[in-house]
Structure 1
Amino acid sequence: METPIANNRLLLIINPISGVGAKEAIEPLVRELMTPTGYTVDVAYTCARGDATRLACKAAANGYKAVVAAGGDGTVNETAKALCGTGIRFGIIPCGSGNGLARHLGIPMDLRKATKLMAKNHVIDIDYGSVNGMPFFCTFGIGFDAAVSGHFAKQHRRGRLSYIKSAISEYINFHPQVYTLSANGKVLTEKAFLIAVCNASQYGNNAYIAPHASITDGQLDITIIHAGNPIDT
């Protein structure tokens, strides 16, 4: 058993509509596995976009030791951005459609296994990027992937099938654009299908866009994909 933590409050933030599975088992599971490690578990559910950020900010202001996000990459991003620079420990229970950051970190997709891993209390510091003052922790896209994400966000149904439908729908009318990038002292102008700026290695569902990316090396990996024929794309 882990040594009890001096400041032992943990806030579990659950997004009840993330992914496709039921979320009823998450709260008792976290209480079962985290309480023996010395944590007192409080639980909050999101109801709308921005709730996870608000709840995490409140936890930081109230002196919580740890915050855990149970949801997908959207919930993870909303929660984590409120904790940057606070020193508060952040845990992920992946139950979204893609779970890109969790997969990159090697967190199991099985809820019990993920919570057991979290209970081992292994903490690392990771990098993050920023777009227009907004932090991101996994990937940031311009072009086709951004269009697909925007379409997916408007769908009522979640899951991999909805992603595929969004991709097909956007591809029909999508046109590559010309972009100018400034990085490492160089300026590059390219007509691209998409540009992915990656802190982590994948979008989610093990779809790797930057296989060699690291979240601890202090660098972002930029992947440029040019327009090809429909089969290549």
Structure 2
Amino acid sequence: MTKQNGEAPARRIVLVANVAAGSLVDGGLTPETLRARLEAAGLAVVPEPRPEASPPDRLAAAAELPGIDAVAVAGGDGTLACAAQALTGQAVPLGILPLGTMNLLARDLGIPLDLDAAIAVLAHGSLRPIDAGEVNGHVFLINSVLGLPARLARHREAKRGRMGLADLLRMAAGLLRHLGRYPRERAVLTLGDETRRIRFRTLAVVCGDYREGLGQVLSRAGVDGGHLTLYLVETLSAARLVRLGLGFAVGEWRRLPDLERHEARALTLDARRRALRVMNDGEVVLIAPPLRYRIRPVALRVLVPAEGAR
């Protein structure tokens, strides 16, 4: 595209929208209205090459389009992890329209949750390379979780976009039942030069690490530190669950006696099972062990607010 009146050409982007995302479902947005708002902001929106395909195939096809400046993804953290599967290690950057429920990655990167402000980042933001985590070829950008949270995730998925108070109470009751109903997971953990047998209720591998401090729950301290952080909870009674919850609430949880923490660039988790239920950035997948985790430093390029606009 040629320059006009000395101005830089409009960015050429392809929009991939997850129509099941929270704000698209509840806010009355459609891919067509999103496209109109992108074009009104001065962006050149290239038609999506495979709009009827599955989300992974849609994103892979979008990433291969020639001459585009970004793949703009409208959705939540799970959709962004799906996009990262196609874009990690590639030159084409990821643009984020945070329309999910938690939008943790957008918060970590300082991307506004207001839609028009997020669109402005697509039009005028700068590029920032960030780390990506990987387990057996599956890319995640925030965390990879095993154990109790991954089991409970299927209840959340069944009620996605329509969770009421009664549903939340049932999930809480289900959590308490799970604490005593299911045995702890058994695995063999290899971390550095040490290999040991572990039993756990919850295990999380975080891309980077979480930030401590009041009001910083699930906020990460950085996105380009070049390491993973392993969190391990071996036992989880109702009392310990309350203690962990209070520790997270007040921002003092790393030193809790019920929580084991390690930093690493890679780790392996093995188990005598055909497959393990793994929740990557909120999306559950079954992966055959051994699970081989590694960090891919600054392997994904993302559009973020320009330095002066943060």
TM-score interval for Structure 1 and Structure 2 normalised by the shorter chain: 0.7 to 0.9
TM-score, length-scaled by structure 1 = 0.80
Q: Deviations over 1:21-41 (max 9, x none)?
A: 3323533222222x2xxx411
Indicate the SS of the match to 2:128. coil
Establish whether residue 60 from structure 1 lines up as the match of residue 69 from structure 2.
no
**What is the total number of aligned residue pairs between the two structures?**
222
User: Aligned partners of 2:238, 2:48: CA distance in 1, in Å?
Assistant: 44
Deviation of 1:13 after TM superposition, in Å, equals 1.0
In structure 2, the partner of 1:195 is: 203
Deviation of 1:139 after TM superposition, in Å, equals 0.8
Indicate the SS of the match to 2:189. strand
The farther-off stretch of 139-148 and 39-48 is 39-48
Establish whether residue 217 from structure 1 lines up as the match of residue 225 from structure 2.
yes
* Counterpart AA for 1:180: V
Q: Deviations over 1:10-61 (max 9, x none)?
A: 111111221143323533222222x2xxx4113559988x733212221232
Q: Which runs of 4+ in 1 moved over 4 A?
A: 43-48, 158-168
Would the aligned equivalents of 2:104 and 2:219 in 1 still touch at CA under 8 Å?
no
User: Aligned partners of 1:58, 1:108: CA distance in 2, in Å?
Assistant: 27
In structure 2, the partner of 1:208 is: 217
Q: Which runs of 5+ in 2 are unaligned?
A: 1-5, 242-310
Q: Which runs of 5+ in 1 are unaligned?
A: none
Establish whether residue 69 from structure 1 lines up as the match of residue 73 from structure 2.
yes
- Report the structure, 1 or 2, having the larger strand content: 2
User: C-alpha root-mean-square deviation of aligned residues, in Å?
Assistant: 3.1
Establish whether residue 179 from structure 1 lines up as the match of residue 183 from structure 2.
no
User: Aligned partners of 1:144, 1:220: CA distance in 2, in Å?
Assistant: 21
TM-score, length-scaled by structure 2 = 0.62
User: Aligned partners of 1:195, 1:164: CA distance in 2, in Å?
Assistant: 24
Q: Deviations over 1:191-213 (max 9, x none)?
A: 322111011556xxx8735754x
Given candidates 9, 21, 24, the residue that maps to 2:27 is 21
User: Aligned partners of 1:45, 1:70: CA distance in 2, in Å?
Assistant: 16
Map 1:48-197; keep pairs closer than 5 Å: 51-63=54-66, 64-157=68-161, 166=171, 168-174=173-179, 175=182, 176-197=184-205
Summarize the Cα distance change of 1:106–1:154 in structure 2 as closer, same or farther, 3 Å threshold. Answer: same
Would the aligned equivalents of 2:16 and 2:72 in 1 still touch at CA under 8 Å?
yes
Indicate the SS of the match to 1:23. coil
Would the aligned equivalents of 2:208 and 2:224 in 1 still touch at CA under 8 Å?
no
Indicate the SS of the match to 2:190. strand
User: Aligned partners of 1:160, 1:94: CA distance in 2, in Å?
Assistant: 22
Q: Deviations over 1:198-232 (max 9, x none)?
A: 11556xxx8735754x3211111111123233143
Deviation of 1:143 after TM superposition, in Å, equals 0.6
Between 1 and 2, higher relative CO (CA 8 Å, sep ≥ 6) is seen in 2
User: Aligned partners of 2:113, 2:35: CA distance in 1, in Å?
Assistant: 16
Would the aligned equivalents of 1:15 and 1:47 in 2 still touch at CA under 8 Å?
no
